[in-house]
């Protein structure tokens, strides 16, 4: 669902989407950091570059975009005077 479509929904629906997106985005970010750490460790042990080393770099813009979308949702909720914790 595009961010423009999300912002047109009711506040309660946006809060539900925000919670799901927050969990998913943080999970993706942690996975990318973990993959990056594994690849650095692998490179330090073998001193060989393999094609899997570019995966964390490829996924990093996706993580950044997801955090930006989450930030837009948070701003919209604040503008609607919803703190995101009420249900």
pLDDT per residue over 11-42, tens digit each?
Answer: 889 889 999 999 999 999 999 999 999 999 99
CA distance 12 to 56: 34
Tokens representing residue 26 in the block: 């943080």
∠ CA 9-10-14 to the nearest 5 degrees?
A: 75
Read off the pLDDT of residues 34-85 as tens digits, 9 standing for 90 and up. Answer: 999 999 999 999 988 888 889 999 999 999 999 999 999 999 888 886 444 5
Residue 5 DSSP label: H
């Amino acid at each position: 669902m595009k961010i423009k479509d999300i912002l047109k929904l009711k506040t309660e629906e946006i809060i539900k989407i925000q919670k799901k997106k927050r969990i998913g985005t943080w999970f993706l970010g942690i996975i990318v950091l973990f993959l990056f750490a594994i690849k650095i460790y692998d490179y330090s042990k073998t001193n060989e570059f393999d094609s899997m080393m570019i995966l964390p770099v490829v996924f990093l813009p996706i993580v950044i975009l997801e955090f930006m979308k989450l930030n837009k949702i948070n701003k919209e909720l604040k503008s609607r005077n919803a703190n995101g914790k009420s249900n």
